């Protein structure tokens, strides 16, 4: 049973990393999230960071105590990546045209 969980965890981390790289390089977002994501590049960075944090938390958390802080850091990195992915749903800032002129 333990091997199934390790394989599923590795598959989840790998898919997150692949989707993150695809979002960064091409702007591609998986179909279920396509309508909600306004900035695919930012979403990709959040996804890639989340994959790294999840890998730290999942795979170093079960090792002996010499890696005490790394799983906790991985958990916080993963939670931070969820915040970045939430920001990717908001539209970016746009410059106002003509509202502020430099000529006095």
Q: 26-73, pLDDT tens digit by residue?
A: 999 998 888 888 899 999 999 999 999 999 888 887 666 666 788 888
Q: Is the pLDDT of residue 2 over 90?
A: no
What pLDDT is attached to residue 93?
74
Q: Which residues of 53-88 are buried (b: 16+ CB within 10 A; e: fewer)?
A: bbbbbbbbeeeeeebeeebeebbebbeebeebbeeb
With H, G, I as helix, E, B as strand and everything else as coil, classify residue 17: helix
Q: 69-98, pLDDT tens digit by residue?
A: 888 888 999 999 999 999 998 887 776 665
Phi-psi region of 35 (alpha: psi -120 to 50; beta: other; left: phi over 0): alpha
Radius of gyration of the chain (CA): 18
What pLDDT is attached to residue 77?
94
Average pLDDT across the chain, whole number: 85
Distance CA 12, CA 49 (A): 13
């Amino acid at each position: 049973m333990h091997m199934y969980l390790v394989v599923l965890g590795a598959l989840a981390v790998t898919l997150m990393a692949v989707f993150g790289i695809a979002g960064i390089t091409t702007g591609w977002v998986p179909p279920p999230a396509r309508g909600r994501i306004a900035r695919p590049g930012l979403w990709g960075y959040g996804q890639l960071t989340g994959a790294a944090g999840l890998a730290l938390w999942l795979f170093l958390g079960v090792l002996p105590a010499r890696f005490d802080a790394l799983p906790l850091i991985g958990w916080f990195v993963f939670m931070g990546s969820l915040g970045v992915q939430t920001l990717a749903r908001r539209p970016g800032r746009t410059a106002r045209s003509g509202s502020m002129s430099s000529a006095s």
